[in-house]
Amino acid sequence: MKLLHLGHPAQEVAQMVSAARASVNNWYRRWHENGIAGLANQPIPGRQPKATSTYRESLEAALASDPHDHGYPFSVWTLERLSQHLTKETGIQLSIVRLRQWMVRWGYVYRRPKADLGHKQEPEVREQVAAWLEELKKQPNRELASYSLWTKQP
């Protein structure tokens, strides 16, 4: 704007700042209409994301529930299963890659389920085994290992 104010023509200013003449004219017009605030970059319009707030709410509801509650024969949500379920629920179909990207953006992480058979074990026996293991940890191991998981190739 200063170069234009000093009397340089738009074509010369465009060459000085390595920009197109149309850009210089647009900057001048925006400055003339809105002052210095008009020179700030404006958001670039684009297609609205497919994942709407309704989609996110359906995702959160699905993750908070057991798949059996929805009539599915499995007990763990995978991305493929979530994608199919959400398509059925919302009518919005996202690819697996895009669903993963949205889940990361919304703060979800994937953790493998841990198998826990604690409900099938007797509490008294568990306590005995835990005490026995603690005693074993206190005793030094005097035997040398005669095997290794690592080997050298000939």
In the predicted model, what is the mean pLDDT of the chain? 85
Q: Where are the domains of the chain?
A: 2-39, 53-105
| pLDDT > 70: percent of the chain | 90
**Residues 49-66: pLDDT tens digits?**
889 899 999 999 998 888
Tell me the C-alpha to C-alpha distance, in Å, between residue 106 and each of 53, 57, 68: 11, 11, 25
**Residues 70-83: pLDDT tens digits?**
999 888 888 999 99
> Quick one: average pLDDT of 82-88?
94
Alpha-carbon 63 to chain mean position: 15
Is residue 141 pLDDT above 70, yes or no?
Answer: no
